[in-house]
Structure 1
Amino acid sequence: MQNARVIIDVRAGKEGDLPALLEIYNHHIRTGYATFDEVEVSLDDRRAWWATYAPVGSHRLIVAAEDGRVVGYATSSPYRAHPAFQRTVETSVYLAPDAMGQGIGGRLYDMLLAELGDTEAHHVVAAVALPNDASVALHLSRQFTVVGTFTGYAIKRGRRISSTWFERPVRM
């Protein structure tokens, strides 16, 4: 018997993906430190968040779906509100727990970075809450360089969290 080949569709996010995106994000709020949010967000919160992304421009939302089920997503968001940072984006990648370790994060990043190449964005930054060896490896494999680490600068569930920051130009 042959193993069934899993096909992952990586595409622009659709509004109908919101419930799955909400569940993935809330999972990370409940169980880890990839987000510093401590209270689960609502579908209305995610609708407002959704409105900040578009199929064109430098603020994108890319999803990975397996057999129609969303298993992860990547975003490029404004880094800071100051006009000087208008062409800098901050990226995030979140995966469903059963989708980790399968290369899906890399596929999401590859599509996101390729699409950013056709925009006015010129610089990408990302923060990885530690420890998270898989996310550090993902960023290094996509030619991000380490900028530095904020040590114990956040507290979530009584634990001090450090984050390593990464950067890269959009076009290499």
Structure 2
Amino acid sequence: MLPEEYERRRRLPRHLRDPEHRDPDFAFRIRPAEAADLPAIRDIYRHFVLNSTVTFDERPKTLGQWRRTLRETGELRLPFLVAESATGTVLGYALTQPWKQRSAYRYTVESSVYLAPAAAGRGLGRALMEALIEATRERGVREMIAVIADQGADASIALHERLGFEEIGRMGRVGVKFGRELGIVLLQKSLRKRR
């Protein structure tokens, strides 16, 4: 990427540049996900599967797959959070899952965060990620990895960087979706308490 392209990519709208910007009329609460939330979670994720390259899934997950994810995160004591509006509508979710299956990776997780399109740009992504980071840290996890598409996910990369994630690598052309070759950006955040 040329320096001028990087600068252009880094110019974001004010609500994404300013981490303290919040819409004062936008109320939500963050809580652990429950089985009753899964249809809304499925629908949020489905939107991104069918309409974007921010996930490399090409088929939406079924309700059964989401039930399994909720059960597995619970068994592993990993956080799976939702943000809901004052009326109880699920606006977004965030979760951590094991980074790899080998036992030596047990203190490292991969994070995911998705918002309903109408909830984007209002501070909710940051609030969900902050809650996810803290809940994950409380469970003794040491490292959090974010795997983000290298195209169409500039806001997600910027959010993670503002939260202390550091880019640790890139992999080019590892996925193909909608006929486009896509890469990933790997970011990492240490959750170890500072002494």
Q: TM-score band, normalised by the shorter chain?
A: over 0.9
- For 1:161, the equivalent position in structure 2 comes to 182
SS at match of 1:68: coil
Structure 1 distance, partners of 2:98, 2:63, is: 21
Deviations, residues 44-87 of structure 1 (Å, cap 9, x unaligned): 22111221122983x21011111210011111100000111011
Q: Which amino acid aligns with 2:148?
A: V
Larger mean CA deviation between 4-13 and 85-94 belongs to 4-13
Following TM superposition, by how much is the alpha carbon of 1:6 offset from its aligned partner in structure 2, in angstroms? 2.3
- Larger % of helix: which? 2
Q: 1:135 aligns with which of 156, 181, 190?
A: 156
Among residues 153, 165, 169, which one is paired with 1:148 in the alignment? 169
Indicate the residue corresponding to 2:97 in structure 1.
77
Number of corresponding residues: 169
Scaled by the length of structure 1, the TM-score of the pair is 0.92
- Aligned CA distance change for structure 1 residues 103 and 55 (closer, same or farther; 3 Å): farther
Runs of 4+ in 1 over 6 A off after TM superposition: none
TM alignment of 1:35-46, pairs within 5 A: 35-46=55-66
**Contact kept in structure 2, 1:12 and 1:55, CA below 8 Å:** no
Q: Which has the higher strand share?
A: 1
Equivalent of 2:124 in 82, 85, 104:
104
Match of 2:82 in 1: 63
The one-letter amino acid paired with 1:43 is L
What secondary structure does 1:39 align onto? coil
Secondary structure, in 3 states, of the residue corresponding to 2:74?
coil
**Aligned equivalents of 2:76, 2:148: Cα separation in 1:** 26
Give the RMSD, CA atoms, in angstroms: 1.7
Deviations 1:106-165 (A, max 9, x none): 000111111122112101001110221100111001100000111111111211111110
Are positions 1:31 and 2:58 aligned together? no
Q: What CA distance in whole angstroms lies between the structure 1 residues aligned with 2:133 and 2:54?
A: 20
TM-score by length of 2: 0.82
**For 1:117, what is the secondary structure of its paired residue?**
helix
Aligned to 1:119: 139
Structure 2: give runs of 5+ residues left out of the alignment: 1-22
